Structure 1
Amino acid sequence: MLLFRIRSVCTAVLYTNLAASDLLFCIMLPFKIAYHINGNNWIFGETMCRAATAVFYGNMYCSILLLTCISVSRYVAIVHPFTYKSLPKRAYAIAACAAVWAVVFLYMLPLAIMQQSYYVKQLGIYTCHDVHSACEAVSSFQFYYYVSLAVFGSLMPLATIVFCYVSIIRTLKTHEWFWYVKVSLLILTIFAICFVPSNVILIIHHVNYYYHNTDGLYSFYLIALCLSSLNSCLDPFLYFLMSKIRSQSNIYLTMVKISREK
């Protein structure tokens, strides 16, 4: 569909990168499935645990940042159409995607470097990114790392996306809202179900554990992480809606041009 339905190179570049992130996540998913089926016993070794953890979180934040780039692109195209038309869109899209992958890679390095699997003697199993109690204590670096990951990787992009689509809907006339309302609702649904719960609980969990050494929210956090994987299922619907919205954008730009010439 990216090859044959989406004519915009800029849009195709952004969605191809989003699809690549989802594909990488799906390649690692069988290991997570085997882990949980095996009673949360990790049998694939420390290196594979680090890789699976980094890819799991990397997919989440890569998807968030790419959805933000897509929203900003739509915002400029609709709210500032003539500025958008004069921009080197392909170069900007490639640069944005390269920046997203670079930021995500750097942010995932600590997960790839720090130990992730621990042996739980009472249960006779190896856990993978599931316990803090096996460690002595959460360091200041880990605390600020996870909190900044949630704030800069989720909450700030969400605020940006809300601003973009509110501006788009305010700019368009009532009869032109239809597809953009659908897209904005879908993206907000992806955030509400997949990203916001896990990142809010991530902040609360690490604040509680760092200051009070309590771990009561961790089971809820694991459930929220499971929900976060649903973004890979919802992204294809986004591709479909954006392929439809492309023709609507062209019509809108033509109408704006004609009205300004008059």
Structure 2
Amino acid sequence: MGMLFGTLVFVCLLSSVCSVSPAPHPADECSMSSKQRSFRLITTCNSTTLKKKQLVEIRSSTTTLYLPVLYVLAFIVGLPSNLLALWVLVFRTKRLPSTTLLINLTVADCLLLLVLPFRIVYHFRGNNWELGEPFCRVVMAVFYGNMYGSVLCLAFVALDRYMALVHPFAAKTLRSQRTAVCMAAVVWVVVLAAMLPLLVSQQTFKLNEPNITTCHDVLDSDFQQNFLLPYFVTLFTSCFLLPFLVILYCHSAVLHTLLAEGKRYGHAVCVTVLVLLVFIMCLLPSNILLLIHYIKKSDDLYLPYMFTLAISTFNSCIDPFIFYYVSAEFREKTRSALSCSRDSRDKPSSLGTNASYSSSSSGLRSKVTLLSISRRQGTSEMV
């Protein structure tokens, strides 16, 4: 199901690109005034020639060496781990609500990692894009779409764990395969809608000095001021801040519930730490710098922003480790796959056999025991 959603969205992206108008002829670009074009996250450029400071920055080793090296590292670490995670989730685990959400998150990460080589070549060749306007739009839409799609998927995963562990009786009704598919569909629809502005707006500009064609580094100034400011503020609020608050609340409630019942909560702590790491270290800096640029019109944020944008791709490397701690079955199947042992599907789940059915003379104690059993049943798939 996750692969189906990912394929459908990718086809929609390509269809959107094919339907938009082609990029302006270079001669039209040369006639633009300094107010009509600006360097990404830097002050307005003069015609098609960058100012001296901008020229130094776009040619600096930060953008032509260190950034692609970071992307290479993310690609080397992230692609094998996500392909392994996708294989385990699709072919070796039961199709549970949590599994469906994790599959869709993995598909989003794989899409990003598959377009990273094009960004790597772009930066290694001195920020020169040679693959055409339409493909630049697709790459940037996938690039930003993964960021906000991952946030939404992680929010739904946290909500699913919250229902399973904090409200186990209600979860029996609310948690279903149909609900998970609807959540996944919401994620892809929101991502596609959010990325449409990048798909229908010009992303490449040819510069005279240096003689390169940039991809998303030079954008129309009026478009940035009149549209991109409210656009990115809306994205930050609805696709980053709100899901982040949901994640914080759900993980806090899960930890509180486990502590109150005196249960082991090591896995839950690992999940919380990894999710916070994704947000605070990978995604928060680039979103904050982007907002500061458009709100305060700062002139010195290009290199810091590009660096934090490269760091944001490492969220795809951390996601498989989140899967490892979220799903007990995923842990079993991954160990089995890596050790080439027999299929652990025949092994009983240790988490599922820990439920205690001992009776108690106290009615309240019996109620707590039943609640604990129900929670442990949810825990067997989502701890």
Q: TM-score, normalised by structure 1?
A: 0.90
Please give the secondary structure, in 2, of the residue aligned with 1:44: coil
- Among 44, 69, 83, the alignment partner of 2:156 is 69
- Do 2:147 and 2:312's aligned partners in 1 also have CA atoms closer than 8 Å? yes
2:168 counterpart of 1:84: no
2:239 counterpart of 1:153: yes
Partner Cα separation in structure 2 for residue 140 and residue 152 of structure 1: 19
Aligned Cα root-mean-square deviation (Å): 2.4
- Could you tell me how far 1:245 is from its partner in structure 2? 7.7
Please give the secondary structure, in 1, of the residue aligned with 2:217: coil
Whose radius of gyration is greater, 1 or 2? 2
Partner Cα separation in structure 1 for residue 90 and residue 110 of structure 2: 17
- Do 2:136 and 2:203's aligned partners in 1 also have CA atoms closer than 8 Å? yes
Corresponding residue number in structure 2 for 1:243: 327
Please give the secondary structure, in 2, of the residue aligned with 1:39: coil
- Do 2:130 and 2:213's aligned partners in 1 also have CA atoms closer than 8 Å? yes
Corresponding residue number in structure 2 for 1:185: 273
Amino acid at match of 2:312: S
Amino acid at match of 2:155: T
Corresponding residue number in structure 2 for 1:195: 283
- Could you tell me how far 1:6 is from its partner in structure 2? 3.8
- Over the matched positions of the two proteins, sequence identity in percent amounts to 38
> Aligned pair count?
257
- Could you tell me how far 1:176 is from its partner in structure 2? 2.2
- Among 128, 147, 150, the alignment partner of 1:60 is 147
Please give the secondary structure, in 1, of the residue aligned with 2:295: helix
Partner Cα separation in structure 1 for residue 370 and residue 321 of structure 2: 35
- Do 1:35 and 1:42's aligned partners in 2 also have CA atoms closer than 8 Å? yes
- Could you tell me how far 1:239 is from its partner in structure 2? 1.6
Partner Cα separation in structure 2 for residue 95 and residue 149 of structure 1: 21
CA, structure 1 residues 245+200, in 2 after alignment: closer, same or farther (shift >3 Å)?
Answer: farther
More helix by share: 1
Amino acid at match of 1:229: T
- Could you tell me how far 1:8 is from its partner in structure 2? 5.3
- Do 2:166 and 2:254's aligned partners in 1 also have CA atoms closer than 8 Å? yes
Please give the secondary structure, in 1, of the residue aligned with 2:300: coil
- Do 1:28 and 1:52's aligned partners in 2 also have CA atoms closer than 8 Å? yes
Corresponding residue number in structure 2 for 1:168: 254
Amino acid at match of 2:314: L
Partner Cα separation in structure 2 for residue 180 and residue 31 of structure 1: 37
Partner Cα separation in structure 1 for residue 221 and residue 208 of structure 2: 13
Corresponding residue number in structure 2 for 1:17: 104
Partner Cα separation in structure 1 for residue 168 and residue 355 of structure 2: 7
- Do 1:147 and 1:203's aligned partners in 2 also have CA atoms closer than 8 Å? yes
- Could you tell me how far 1:139 is from its partner in structure 2? 3.2
- Do 1:155 and 1:196's aligned partners in 2 also have CA atoms closer than 8 Å? no
Partner Cα separation in structure 2 for residue 257 and residue 251 of structure 1: 19
Partner Cα separation in structure 2 for residue 98 and residue 107 of structure 1: 14
Please give the secondary structure, in 1, of the residue aligned with 2:218: coil
Amino acid at match of 1:142: L
- Could you tell me how far 1:244 is from its partner in structure 2? 2.5
Matches within 5 A, 1:113-152: 113-132=200-219, 135=221, 138-152=224-238
Partner Cα separation in structure 2 for residue 106 and residue 261 of structure 1: 41
- Do 1:201 and 1:217's aligned partners in 2 also have CA atoms closer than 8 Å? yes
Unaligned runs of 5+ in 1: none
Please give the secondary structure, in 2, of the residue aligned with 1:206: helix
2:313 counterpart of 1:229: yes
Partner Cα separation in structure 1 for residue 223 and residue 249 of structure 2: 39
Partner Cα separation in structure 2 for residue 197 and residue 261 of structure 1: 41
Corresponding residue number in structure 2 for 1:96: 183
Corresponding residue number in structure 1 for 2:128: 41
CA, structure 1 residues 168+5, in 2 after alignment: closer, same or farther (shift >3 Å)?
Answer: farther
Amino acid at match of 2:369: S
Partner Cα separation in structure 1 for residue 371 and residue 152 of structure 2: 37
Partner Cα separation in structure 2 for residue 73 and residue 249 of structure 1: 18
- Could you tell me how far 1:162 is from its partner in structure 2? 0.6
- Could you tell me how far 1:4 is from its partner in structure 2? 5.5
2:211 counterpart of 1:109: no
Please give the secondary structure, in 2, of the residue aligned with 1:127: strand
- Do 1:43 and 1:126's aligned partners in 2 also have CA atoms closer than 8 Å? yes
